[in-house]
Amino acid sequence: MLNKNQTLGEFIIKNQTSFKYSSGELSSLINSIRLAAKVVNHEVNKAGLVDIIGPTGDKNIQSEKQQKLDVYANEKFINTLVNRNIVCGIASEEEQAFISINSNDKNNQNKYVVLIDPLDGSSNIDVNVSVGTIFSIYRRKSKIGTEVSIDDFLQSGRHQVAAGYIIYGTSTMLFYTTGNGVNGFTLNPAIGTFYHSHANIQFPKHGNIYSINEGNYLQFPDFVKNYIKFCQEEEGDRPYTSRYIGSLVSDFHRNMIKGGIFLYPPTAKNPKGKLRLLYECNPIAFICEQAGGLAINGEKNILDIQPKELHQRIPFYCGSEEMIQQFQKFI
């Protein structure tokens, strides 16, 4: 039920009883992400004014040119989560290894780990195109009071207890799920409060948008080339419209609202796909499914993939249920 006067904080409290795990911690975890999102939003919005955009010259562990806002956002989310002493471990696109947060302290009863892409689509920052933060939350598998291990992070997407994204666009929005549907909140920057703007989002079962970087066309597997041709044929509700921003959160968000399909197939440069399973595909797939869409890697549902390593990349196809089902006929 949409109540546009309800803040994110009120929504979290009102709904924490429906969360099957210890609700208090998850609530403060979502609240700390909300705080970090506001801080990062402030910097992203003024990036054009101060010298905080533009590459640091460093390269992140993906050997991608690191934008200063990447580094800033990574620090903000990590510091906020550490300072509030809510989680026992963090994995980030910007960090080579996962971070243990005094997880072997017998007094540390924290049972959640967070995986995050602090600023996805950062190559768009210096051209003023929307970027986003993506987060994924699991309960630790290892015993409380022991050191977190890689296995706490290498859980299949089906085990996520919550996932969400923040999109820093014409307005800043936070969308998340704890397994009971997807809700969206829009920031009122004048007072720094997120208000409930989208209740129980439903991914349209069909759409006429396909999102893919056609610059890689010659490198795509034949089934993807054939599907693109299908989208472009004059028949029924086709040709579809091609829309590609090059920022996963923005492309996914548009498709979830309007209906559509997003495709990032294997390419010569990224033979296993470009997008990362743990902190991009799994959280987006959880949200996608909770909204009635589908997310696959070409062989199986994204959420059923057993991760093998922290920064693992996979092919990623997600969107409207009927469009994914149609696409699967080409595989």
The site for ligand P6P (CB under 6 A) is made up of 120-121, 123, 213, 246-248, 251, 274
State the nearest-atom distance from the C-beta of 283 to ligand P6P, in Å: 13
- Which residue's entry shows tokens 């929307």? 130
State the nearest-atom distance from the C-beta of 23 to ligand P6P, in Å: 32
HSE at residue 11, side-chain half, CA atoms within 13 A, is 30
Q: Which is nearer to ligand P6P, 251 or 321 (CB)?
A: 251
Q: Which is nearer to ligand P6P, 11 or 286 (CB)?
A: 286
Q: Which is nearer to ligand P6P, 196 or 254 (CB)?
A: 254
Q: Which is nearer to ligand P6P, 121 or 293 (CB)?
A: 121
State the nearest-atom distance from the C-beta of 128 to ligand P6P, in Å: 15
Q: Which is nearer to ligand P6P, 89 or 273 (CB)?
A: 273
State the nearest-atom distance from the C-beta of 313 to ligand P6P, in Å: 10
State the nearest-atom distance from the C-beta of 227 to ligand P6P, in Å: 17
CA-wise closest residue to 164 among 187, 143, 190, 184: 184
State the nearest-atom distance from the C-beta of 100 to ligand P6P, in Å: 26
Q: Which is nearer to ligand P6P, 121 or 207 (CB)?
A: 121
Q: Which is nearer to ligand P6P, 123 or 200 (CB)?
A: 123
CA-wise closest residue to 90 among 43, 32, 49: 32
> In angstroms, rounded to a whole number, what is the distance separating the alpha carbons of residues 25 and 23?
6
Amino acid at residue number 251: D
State the nearest-atom distance from the C-beta of 90 to ligand P6P, in Å: 19
Compute the residue count for the chain: 331
